[in-house]
């Protein structure tokens, strides 16, 4: 199996923007409203000759504020369980937040291979002073990136690929069969997929239209 890379982090740090940049198409919904990516999404991706699977994690748009955090943590936990390497995404505009510390602690506890990305470093040259604050997360050297401008992403992916397990199969697999489940909102698609896959891969809600993004 190809290595799995998950991007986790607070809503609105730029996870989906990075995901789309690497996946090469606009698969994830990018919006100014925090919590817009409602489910994890998967994409085949590659860097140089290395092929891997990438997951964009995110919260759902919930009825209450509490529900966002609960769902986010669940999504992050599922990504932690499945990923070989986790990219923890933060951004230089907000600095280090309590939520970043929370997720960092979660990842460290899970003993994951972690790459720390500091997004929204949009100006070329030396990163701003605030960038150095991210060393405090204790996750090693942060990598400055700008997802919208496409800067630093090569360095980030070098770091990600360096952390793949030694026996990882990074060759291209063209022989996998892809199945799509389609149907009316609320017909029961997500419940069926969860049943088959045996895990909470899709957020199920009786609010019509909850799953907004495509899920493989």
Task: Tell me: does residue 37 bind ligand GDP (CB under 6 A).
Answer: yes
- Site string (46-65) toward ligand GDP, x via CB under 6 A: ------------x-------
Residue 11, by phi and psi: left (phi above 0), alpha (psi -120 to 50) or beta?
Answer: beta
Q: Which of positions 125-154 make contact with ligand GDP (CB under 6 A)?
A: 146-148
User: Crossing angle for the helix pair 65-82 and 98-109, nearest 10 degrees?
Assistant: 30
Residue 178, by phi and psi: left (phi above 0), alpha (psi -120 to 50) or beta?
Answer: beta
Would you say 2 and 168 are in contact if contact means Cβ atoms under 8 Å apart?
A: yes
Provide the minimum distance between the beta carbon of 123 and Mg ion in the complex, in angstroms, as a whole number. 23
Task: Tell me: does residue 76 bind ligand GDP (CB under 6 A).
Answer: no
From 6, 12, 43, 118, residue interacting with ligand GDP (rule: CB under 6 A): 12
Query: What stretches of 28-67 adopt beta strand conformation (E)?
Result: 41-47, 50-56
How many residues form the binding site for ligand GDP (CB under 6 A)? 19
- Which of residues 43 and 146 has its CB atom nearest to ligand GDP in the complex? 146
Would you say 115 and 88 are in contact if contact means Cβ atoms under 8 Å apart?
A: yes
- Which of residues 116 and 168 has its CB atom nearest to ligand GDP in the complex? 116
Distance CA 85, CA 20 (A): 18
Provide the minimum distance between the beta carbon of 27 and ligand GDP in the complex, in angstroms, as a whole number. 12
Residues binding ligand GDP (CB under 6 A): 11-17, 30-32, 36-37, 58, 119-120, 122, 146-148
């Amino acid at each position: 199996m190809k290595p799995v890379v998950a991007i986790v982090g607070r809503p609105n740090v730029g996870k989906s923007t990075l995901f789309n940049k690497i996946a090469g198409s606009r698969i994830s919904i990018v919006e100014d409203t925090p919590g817009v990516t409602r489910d994890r999404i998967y994409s085949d991706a590659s860097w140089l000759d290395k092929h891997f699977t990438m997951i964009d994690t995110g919260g759902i748009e919930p009825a209450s504020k509490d529900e966002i955090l609960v769902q986010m943590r669940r999504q992050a936990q599922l990504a932690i369980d499945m990923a070989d390497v986790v990219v923890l995404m933060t951004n230089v505009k907000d600095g280090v937040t309590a939520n970043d510390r929370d997720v960092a602690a979660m990842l460290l506890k899970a003993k994951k291979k972690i790459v720390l990305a500091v997004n929204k470093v949009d100006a070329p040259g030396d990163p701003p002073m605030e960038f150095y604050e991210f060393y405090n997360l204790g996750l090693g050297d942060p990598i400055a990136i700008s997802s919208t401008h496409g800067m630093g992403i090569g360095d980030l992916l070098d770091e990600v690929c360096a952390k793949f397990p030694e026996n990882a199969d990074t060759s291209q697999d063209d022989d996998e069969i892809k199945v799509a489940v389609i149907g009316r909102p609320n017909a029961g698609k997500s419940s069926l997929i969860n049943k088959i896959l045996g895990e909470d891969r899709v957020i199920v809600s009786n609010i019509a239209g909850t799953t907004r993004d495509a899920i493989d």
